[in-house]
Structure 1
């Protein structure tokens, strides 16, 4: 197995990883490793836009308040303040990178409206192709300044005396002074998702196996509106479509959100649950877009999909289904992206910075990726250290049988049924029992191909999500327990469920740790 050495290794090619690489590229030797090609990521699929308080009527304080309200007071407030204050400057940085935001006739930026925002503050590019524009601009600026190793999957993080010193892939070990996980989310653990095929939770599994701490894994946001036809999903329908007046209706044309004060622009967890309940009654749910003028000009990506599917939006409502979209938790980091393992940083959706709380405010994810990429890169530049190469000793492999591994579809089906939009103890315990029978089969081996690695990672991450969902006996944000219907501030406000391979699961309350006795994963 060959060895390479770089200054900084970035795992993932979404905007968080690309921005980190862009800032570092003029100063350090940077390599990007990505599981598919550099153009493929959840970021490139992002449609809704990016939030920034830019209008005279708006301000960072209002953006802060909306973020805290949507996430139900489960945040790191200092990190949220940094996020929303930095947003207008991030817009300027993107403009300087060549991003052409949509503008009004007077030359001002067009600001869209999305759920749980008090004001119009969502900037877009070409309607619903914002993420693609961001990633294209960043790829253009880094492609000749960093090494890009695509179609490569990382099997494990390499550590020495508690410090991450690089990664192992299928054909080599790559050493690095700093390793940055920017691997995105884990939507593929569910039957319906807005995420790309590569989003199988690999970054969470890599960090956990190396000994890093994870937190808030129970808080999974389900996007209310994935486009559905003939039992297949075809990507998400941006919340901006509802922001422009589209209405959710059942098979009889009855508006299903009519009873809610914010109608279709209620927080995503509320809208998703309402759709889920209609579906559970055996009815389909549709999004009526017929009132939106110039639909194809305003939402070209969705318009193109509708044309391919022979759907005339002016005559036919769009069938929708909720799907796994974003995990608010992840690898625990501080304000500069450091994890609990020296040498390892995390940024973007794989990280838990505390800015999303229990439920991410719409269009804060692209912003988070860019703001914290700045933080990570700045910290790395200020803390360069000499790399000391070591001779690695491999631990003995634990016997395993890949024949015991379930298929991806079986994992997805069980997660959707038991640890999905609505959860309750009986099904969660049943899921936990099934998962724990699989744990002996998920040890990583050099013989594992990509498909096997992905399934092992999916099982491990499913264990973390399921255990967190069992432990949190309340409903808050993206975590909804039908047997604990209410938010319980008396027992759960300010409490965080954390995981690490060394300590198992812990409930952390304002610096005090109370360990819950469960099986070690």
Structure 2
């Protein structure tokens, strides 16, 4: 197996990885690795846009407040302040890279409305194809300045005396001064998801095997409106559709969100659970878009998918169901993306900066990837130049026992660690996982890509299950049926941290959110 060197290895080709690469490419030798092609990522599928306080009656303090309310006071508030203050500058940076934002007739940027926002502050590009526009611009910015390794699977991180010194792929050992995980989420752990097929939790598993601390893995956001026709997914329907007048109904044409003060623009966890409860009662749920004018112009991607599904959006409501969308927790990092392991950084959805709390505010995810990529790039660029270490610790090789299928993992996670959870179900999931963990913890030389993905899914499923079992309250993206409330809204802010070296539970001051 060949040996290669780089100043920085970045794993993942979403906006977080691409932006980090862009900011480093002029001064460092960067290798960017993606296990599919560079255009395929959750970022490229993002439809809802990016939040930025640009309106006349808006400012960063209101964006900050909305973020805290949606995430139920479970944030690193300093990091949230960084996020919302830098949002307008990120819009300008993207414009400089060639992104064409949607504008009103008077030339000002068109600002959309989404759930749990108090102001119109969502910027879009080409309607509901915002993520595609962002990734395209960033790919063009880096393609001649970094080394791209596409269709390449990272098997494991290389460790030397507890420090990350590079990665092992299917073909090479690549040694580097810094390794950046930008691998996205874990949606493929569930039966329905808005995520790309590559989102098998690889980054969480890589970090866990290396001994990194992961935080708040129980907080998984289910997007309320996946477009599901005859059991087939046609992607998610952006929350912006409800922001422009779409509304949810059941098969009896009853508006199901009228009970909530924000109606169809309540936070995602609330809307998802309402739909789920309707489905549990045997009722199908639909998104009625017929009142939206110029829908083909406003949401061209959705109209195209309706045509594929053989549904006329002008005359028929669209069948929807909740699906795994985003994890608010992840690998614990500081504002510079530094993890608990020297030489290892994380950025984007795979990281936990604490900006999302227990439930991400809509359209803050693309923003997070862009903002904290700058912090990672600044930190990595200051690493002193020195010879790159080309040694690594040997690892124990364990022959894999028979592993479950991807489908089996998805079915178990959906059943026991999905939208609603209980101690009984979580214990069943943990007992199902435990006999498989020894095999999952080690990657053997002969492991194929599909086996590695299954092992990564098992480790990530265990992290989510263990965290969900430990948090005996309902908060944000974590709903415990056996603990529906916690101290009459006098929340005790417990940050659940997990690592291969043990489990840590850190308690902060209680925060009244009533």
The reply to whether TM is greater than 0.5 is: yes
Distance (whole Å) between structure 2 residues aligned to residue 391 and residue 294 of structure 1:
60
Tell me, yes or no, if structure 1 residue 352 matches structure 2 residue 352. Answer: yes
Name stretches of at least 5 consecutive residues in structure 2 with no aligned partner: 510-514
Residues 379-402 of structure 1 show CA distances to partners (whole Å, capped at 9, x for unaligned) of 11123341342433422312332x
Distance (whole Å) between structure 2 residues aligned to residue 17 and residue 493 of structure 1:
34
Distance (whole Å) between structure 1 residues aligned to residue 237 and residue 487 of structure 2:
32
The answer for the alignment partner of 2:464 in structure 1 is 465
The answer for the alignment partner of 2:192 in structure 1 is 192
The answer for the alignment partner of 1:142 in structure 2 is 142
The answer for the alignment partner of 1:428 in structure 2 is 426
Q: Does the Cα contact within 8 Å between 2:329 and 2:351 map onto a contact in 1?
A: yes
The 3-state SS of whatever aligns with 1:334 is coil
Distance (whole Å) between structure 2 residues aligned to residue 389 and residue 18 of structure 1:
25
Q: How does 1:107-256 map to 2 (within 5 A)?
A: 107-256=107-256
The 3-state SS of whatever aligns with 1:438 is helix
Structure 1 residue 441, shift from structure 2 partner? 2.6
Distance (whole Å) between structure 2 residues aligned to residue 251 and residue 392 of structure 1:
59
Distance (whole Å) between structure 2 residues aligned to residue 41 and residue 85 of structure 1:
26
Structure 1 residue 494, shift from structure 2 partner? 2.3
Q: Identify which range, 439-448 or 49-58, moves more after superposition.
A: 439-448
The 3-state SS of whatever aligns with 1:437 is helix
Q: Does the Cα contact within 8 Å between 1:475 and 1:488 map onto a contact in 2?
A: no
Q: Does the Cα contact within 8 Å between 2:189 and 2:409 map onto a contact in 1?
A: yes
Distance (whole Å) between structure 2 residues aligned to residue 392 and residue 250 of structure 1:
57
Structure 1 residue 486, shift from structure 2 partner? 1.2
The 3-state SS of whatever aligns with 1:323 is strand
Distance (whole Å) between structure 1 residues aligned to residue 345 and residue 496 of structure 2:
20
Q: Does the Cα contact within 8 Å between 1:217 and 1:465 map onto a contact in 2?
A: yes
Q: Does the Cα contact within 8 Å between 2:195 and 2:325 map onto a contact in 1?
A: yes
The answer for the alignment partner of 2:321 in structure 1 is 321
The answer for the alignment partner of 1:518 in structure 2 is none
Tell me, yes or no, if structure 1 residue 415 matches structure 2 residue 395. Answer: no
Distance (whole Å) between structure 2 residues aligned to residue 475 and residue 465 of structure 1:
15
Distance (whole Å) between structure 2 residues aligned to residue 447 and residue 10 of structure 1:
24
The answer for the alignment partner of 1:483 in structure 2 is 482
Q: Does the Cα contact within 8 Å between 2:289 and 2:317 map onto a contact in 1?
A: yes
The answer for the alignment partner of 1:515 in structure 2 is none
Tell me, yes or no, if structure 1 residue 439 matches structure 2 residue 437. Answer: yes
The answer for the alignment partner of 2:473 in structure 1 is 474
Residues 72-106 of structure 1 show CA distances to partners (whole Å, capped at 9, x for unaligned) of 00000000000000000000000000000000001
The answer for the alignment partner of 2:333 in structure 1 is 333
Name stretches of at least 5 consecutive residues in structure 1 with no aligned partner: 512-521
Q: How does 1:21-60 map to 2 (within 5 A)?
A: 21-60=21-60
Distance (whole Å) between structure 2 residues aligned to residue 29 and residue 219 of structure 1:
36
Distance (whole Å) between structure 2 residues aligned to residue 389 and residue 507 of structure 1:
35
Distance (whole Å) between structure 1 residues aligned to residue 446 and residue 76 of structure 2:
41
Residues 171-199 of structure 1 show CA distances to partners (whole Å, capped at 9, x for unaligned) of 21000111000000000000000000000
Structure 1 residue 117, shift from structure 2 partner? 0.3
The answer for the alignment partner of 1:77 in structure 2 is 77
The 3-state SS of whatever aligns with 2:496 is strand
Give every structure 1 segment of 4 or more consecutive aligned residues whose post-TM-superposition deviation is greater than 4 Å.
488-492
Distance (whole Å) between structure 1 residues aligned to residue 22 and residue 435 of structure 2:
44
The answer for the alignment partner of 2:290 in structure 1 is 290
Aligned residues: 508
Structure 1 residue 28, shift from structure 2 partner? 0.5
Residues 349-379 of structure 1 show CA distances to partners (whole Å, capped at 9, x for unaligned) of 0000000000000000000000000110011
Root mean square deviation of aligned Cα: 1.2
Structure 1 residue 63, shift from structure 2 partner? 0.1
Residues 229-260 of structure 1 show CA distances to partners (whole Å, capped at 9, x for unaligned) of 00111100000000011110000000000111
Structure 1 residue 491, shift from structure 2 partner? 8.1
The answer for the alignment partner of 1:450 in structure 2 is 449
The answer for the alignment partner of 1:16 in structure 2 is 16
Distance (whole Å) between structure 1 residues aligned to residue 213 and residue 393 of structure 2:
24
